Structure 1
Amino acid sequence: MRILIDMDDVMADAVERFFEWYERDFGIRYTKADIPGKHFYQIVPEAHRQIVRSYPHQKGFFKNLPVIQDAKEVIEALNNLHEIYVVSAAMEFKYSFTDKYEWLDEHFPFIHWKHRIFCGNKHLVKGDVLIDDHDFNLSFFPGRPIVFTAPHNLHYTEYERMNGWLEANKFFEGLP
């Protein structure tokens, strides 16, 4: 089975980086419980929204992101049974490509460079399963779309939902 896995907020915790940088810039610390069903920029004061939206465009935003809990162990186990590809829309943010590549080398060295797809648009990438946190990637996917729970997608109801990596067994156990 060919399983396509998104990086940001599926393998790497980008939401946490928004919180870190916002605290650095404004002295206020938010948590995921503060943003159910929203993107972080939607809940900060209007005067701060452009700054928050600029974070991913800044050098270092994607460097050393925390790994989503249990992602490494579960994805490595899946990689031993299935054809795993990491698919990340890394072209939107000028500095993200190198940081994401190095992050995969450090945290997921078992994913060969030939199984890393950095693109601007995921519509051309094909597989059996796509695990992603955004509707705009899942909605076009002709295979089995699985939404990975993140604060901004709690209202999605049209996809199978994976709330964490320990739930992967219920999606892939016993499948070829």
Structure 2
Amino acid sequence: MKRIAIDMDEVMADFNKKHLALFNADYGEALTVEDLHGKKLRELRPNLVNEIRGYLKDPGYFRDLEVIQDAQEVIKELHETYEVYIATAAMHFPSSFTAKYEWLQEHFPFLNDQHFVFCGDKSVIKADYLIDDNVYQLERFTGKGILYTAPHNVHEERFTRVNHWQDVRDYFLK
């Protein structure tokens, strides 16, 4: 059985919606996902990098992120044909472990929690495929990297790209 590793933030969980909402509320701005085209929020507001990263240090930040449309359904289908692992770079924000684990249990109860990998560098993941929005992780991965479209990676052209979960379904199940 082939193995697929799937990133969590910006692939399964809608990270940007909450991040922008908090930032906009705190700084009186009206930034949208479209404003992030080709960039991360910290690149748009470099003078507020510490404050922007500070949101992510909140132990509960990752607990209530919305699930990206169709992720549950497609991952459940993948789980029937592939060995599915969730690989999240939680070492960047160690206080996120509990929230991420609880989020995965709530929204993906059909997955084996022994297949949840909390790591930093995903080059340690032994899988045939890695679906991730982070080019850095795909560059170091030894299997086939699949780039999940996120605002910050729209200009990247080196990897097979999927724009949404229906593309993932088409790639792996058709």
Figure out how many residues of one structure are paired with residues of the other and give that number: 173
Q: Does 1:7 align with 2:18?
A: no
Give a deviation string over 1:134-163, Cα, whole Å, max 9, x none: 111000212110000000000110000000
**Distance in 2 between the 1:104 and 1:116 partners?**
8
Q: Does 1:154 align with 2:154?
A: yes
Q: Is the 8 A contact 2:147 2:160 kept in 1?
A: yes
Aligned to 1:128: 128
CA shift, 1:92, in A, is: 1.6
CA shift, 1:58, in A, is: 2.1
Aligned to 1:87: 87
Structure 1 gap ranges (5+) = none
CA shift, 1:115, in A, is: 1.0
RMSD: 1.3
**Distance in 1 between the 2:27 and 2:44 partners?**
14
Sequence identity, in percent? 43
**Distance in 2 between the 1:169 and 1:113 partners?**
22
Give a deviation string over 1:9-34, Cα, whole Å, max 9, x none: 00001111211211221122321111
Query: What does residue range 1-80 of structure 1 map to in structure 2 within 5 Å?
Result: 1-44=2-45, 46-80=46-80
**Distance in 1 between the 2:102 and 2:37 partners?**
30
Greater share of residues in helix: 2
Letter in 2 for 1:94: P
Give a deviation string over 1:86-145, Cα, whole Å, max 9, x none: 001112213210000000011011111111111122111111100001111000212110
Q: Is the 8 A contact 2:11 2:132 kept in 1?
A: yes
Letter in 2 for 1:54: G
Structure 2 gap ranges (5+) = none
